[in-house]
């Protein structure tokens, strides 16, 4: 039996899964175009099996302009998430997005949606599309 969710729940589940995969506060590094391209990969994956067999997402309102490589829906959803204090932008140009969910709250979100494993896989895909964050070198 598949779970039916809204596009807003898709983003909530993705942010929660990013937190769980990070084993602590999740930070996403990347330019605005990279964040949008990573989101596009998520949208493509959502429509493919095995995810589509487990979770049906209503993507009617979600847009993605392939020419410019961006989604106005994602910009609005991230703005709402920031207003709701789910994420923060220490740098307003998207260079870094900090997810403000704790591990318990993230786990509760995935339990509420009912599709933990598919979302954990989407989070891995999303993060793989972003540049690797290099740990800062320790000062001698």
pLDDT of residue 139: 38
* Secondary structure of the chain as H, E, C letters: CCEEEEHHHHHHHHHHHHHHHHCCCCEEECCHHHHHHHHHHHHHHHCCCCHHHHEEEECCCCCCECCCCECHHHHHHHHHHHHCCCEEEEECCCCEEEECCCHHHHHHHHHHHCCHHHHHHHHHHHHHCCCCCCCCCCCC
Question: How confident is the model over 25-57, as pLDDT tens digits?
Answer: 789 888 888 999 999 999 999 999 999 999 999
Predicted pLDDT at 137:
36
Give me the percent of the chain exceeding a pLDDT of 90: 74
pTM given for the model: 0.89
Spans of all domains in the chain: 3-128
Band (pLDDT 50/70/90 cuts) for residue 119 is very high
């Amino acid at each position: 039996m598949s779970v039916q969710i809204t596009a807003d729940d898709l983003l909530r589940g993705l942010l929660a899964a990013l937190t769980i995969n990070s084993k602590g506060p999740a930070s996403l590094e990347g330019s605005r175009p990279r964040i949008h391209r990573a989101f596009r990969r998520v949208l493509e994956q959502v429509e493919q099996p095995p995810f589509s067999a487990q979770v049906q997402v209503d993507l009617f309102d979600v847009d993605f302009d392939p020419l410019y490589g961006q989604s106005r829906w994602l910009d609005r959803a991230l703005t709402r998430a920031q207003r709701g204090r789910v994420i923060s932008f220490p740098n307003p140009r998207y260079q870094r997005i900090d997810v403000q969910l704790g591990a318990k709250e993230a786990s509760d979100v995935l339990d509420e949606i009912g599709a933990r494993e598919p979302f954990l896989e989407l989070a891995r895909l999303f993060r793989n599309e972003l540049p690797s964050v290099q740990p800062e070198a320790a000062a001698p």
